[in-house]
Amino acid sequence: MPVPDGQWAGWTIWSEPSPNTFFQAIGRSYIRADGDNRALVGLETAVGHRNRQDNLHGGFIATFADHAFFGGLFAMGHVEHASGLTIDLSMQYLGAGRVGPPVMAEVELLRETGRLMFMRLMIRQDGEPIAASAATIRKASRRQ
């Protein structure tokens, strides 16, 4: 269900902080489609995402990238593959992120085969790139 108002109006909530789950560490995130094979995933940053230099921790940024690939698939309509498996993920850190402003992942599905999905994304904060990532996702197995 789309968020009715505020900064995230028109977006769909992808994850909510949930006690005793990893989503507690990630925080609230939002998704929306952005054309064919493209989606946006936004996330509110928090003090728990910082490193000792008060920037966003690189591990948090990598976690967000992995999280965003699946949120992006869901937003693109690949709902059945949003529970797939990451089999390869690479990161390039392009700049320091700050706690406070949200981060935005621009997710793209590059190619899909019978079992795999090849993806990439760019993470921006205030319009500036802070990281890029590429991943190979194994599609979720069909349960019989």
Distance separating alpha carbons of residues 39 and 73, to the nearest angstrom: 8
Q: Alpha carbon of 98 to those of 14, 26, 48, 83, 137: distances in Å?
A: 22, 15, 12, 30, 29
Distance separating alpha carbons of residues 103 and 32, to the nearest angstrom: 14
pLDDT-based confidence at residue 144 (cuts at 50, 70, 90):
very low
Instruction: Give the model confidence (pLDDT) of 31-59 as tens digits.
Output: 999 998 999 999 999 998 999 999 999 99
Domains in the chain: ranges and CATH: 12-131 (3.10.129.10)
Determine the 3-state secondary structure of 107 from DSSP: strand
Instruction: Give the model confidence (pLDDT) of 70-113 as tens digits.
Output: 999 999 999 988 889 999 999 999 999 999 999 999 999 999 99
127 burial (CB, 10 Å; 0-12 / 13-18 / 19+) is: exposed
User: Which helix (H) or strand (E) is 25 found in, with range?
Assistant: helix 23-26
